[in-house]
Amino acid sequence: MSNKKFTILIVDDNIGFITRMRAILDEIASFISIHTATDYDEAFIILAEKKPNLVMLDIRLPGKSGLILLKKINDSRSKCKVIMNSNYINDHYRQQCQDLGADYFLDKTNDFETVPDLIRQIAMETLTTADQHCA
């Protein structure tokens, strides 16, 4: 693997979720750089400035929805991966996220333990292939 950092943007209005996710990610790899945003506008700015390899995105955000941001990411034809995190785990939201280009859809409560392995897998794939960043 290269010496490049794998950059993640966590977008969630729940500070507890962000703190917990940061702690998990800090433990699994030294090659990960983490940025956070608590709303759409902040996330949009960080996307443009940091060009993360992966966005972990909540559906419900203050102001504009995470679904709108997911659509923007997909419309930009960026190669970054998107993991939708939500407590709204019904089939409607899952299908909507998939239709809008999400790579993964995780239940915030029940799928939490799968995150470290999933992030490792995505990071290894991304860092060993061509650059994949959000634009």
What is the residue extent of each domain of the chain? Answer: 20-61+69-128
pLDDT at 1: 44
**Can you read off the two tokens belonging to residue 91?**
């089939």
pLDDT at 135: 57
Which residue would you say has higher pLDDT here, 62 or 112?
A: 62
How confident is the model over 40-66, as a mean pLDDT?
92
**What is the pTM assigned to this prediction?**
0.89
pLDDT at 56: 96
3-state secondary structure of 28: helix
Supply the mean pLDDT for the chain: 87
**Can you read off the two tokens belonging to residue 28?**
């699994």
Q: 10: left (phi > 0), else alpha (psi -120 to 50), else beta?
A: beta
Q: Are 120 and 24 in contact (CB under 8 A)?
A: no
Does domain 20-61+69-128 match CATH 3.40.50.2300? Answer: yes
